[in-house]
């Protein structure tokens, strides 16, 4: 029963959000869920299935789908490009010390994944 509800949700959601261009990160894990091993495994399977459906549905509707390297996308300020040294997984919001923008970790990462996908840029530390 629960599995059917989840499958229904995944299909309806992926069908609804397919658009002209989709960029997703290359990590197949919900890193924020690090509590129970079983819960993490199940969440990872759903996340993998979610991305799999987005990919084949993008193909069905002749839309663009790309998996991008999401290295540093959480740690890089999407406003100014500043890269923070460390960002523990339990920190869901952070403020950029360079431009003072307050970031939601996931939204900031999503904005950076979009930037990487649309521009071909790769984020990384310059040493
Ligand atoms: Zn910044």
pTM: 0.79
**Biggest distance spanned by C-alpha atoms of the chain:** 52
| CA 114 to ligand 1 center in whole angstroms | 17
Q: Is the pLDDT of residue 98 over 60?
A: yes
| CA 3 to ligand 1 center in whole angstroms | 41
| CA 122 to ligand 1 center in whole angstroms | 17
The dihedrals phi and psi of 93, each to the nearest 5 degrees, come to -135, 145
112 and 73 in contact (C-beta within 8 Å)?
A: yes
| CA 24 to ligand 1 center in whole angstroms | 22
69 and 27 in contact (C-beta within 8 Å)?
A: no
Better-scored residue on pLDDT, 87 or 101: 101
Q: Is the pLDDT of residue 30 over 60?
A: no
| CA 50 to ligand 1 center in whole angstroms | 31
| CA 77 to ligand 1 center in whole angstroms | 5
| CA 32 to ligand 1 center in whole angstroms | 23
| CA 25 to ligand 1 center in whole angstroms | 21
Tell me, what's the pLDDT at 127? 42
Task: Give the DSSP H/E element, type plus range, for residue 102.
Answer: strand 102-104
Residue 79: name the closest of 60, 98, 53, 61 by CA: 98
- Beta partners for residue 24, in sequence order: 67
Of 13-22, 39-48, 54-63, 75-84, the poorest mean pLDDT is in 39-48
């Amino acid at each position: 029963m629960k599995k059917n509800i989840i499958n229904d949700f995944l299909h309806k959601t992926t069908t609804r959000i397919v658009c002209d261009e989709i960029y997703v990160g290359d990590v197949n894990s919900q890193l924020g869920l690090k509590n129970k091993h079983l819960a993490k495994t199940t969440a990872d399977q759903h996340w993998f299935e979610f991305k799999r459906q987005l990919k084949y549905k993008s193909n069905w509707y002749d839309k663009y789908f790309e998996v991008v390297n999401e290295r540093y996308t959480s740690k890089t300020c999407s406003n100014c490009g500043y890269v923070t040294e460390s960002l523990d997984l339990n920190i869901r919001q952070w403020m950029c010390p360079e431009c003072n923008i307050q970031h939601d970790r996931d939204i900031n990462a999503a904005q950076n994944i979009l930037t990487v996908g649309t521009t071909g840029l790769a984020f990384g530390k310059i040493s």
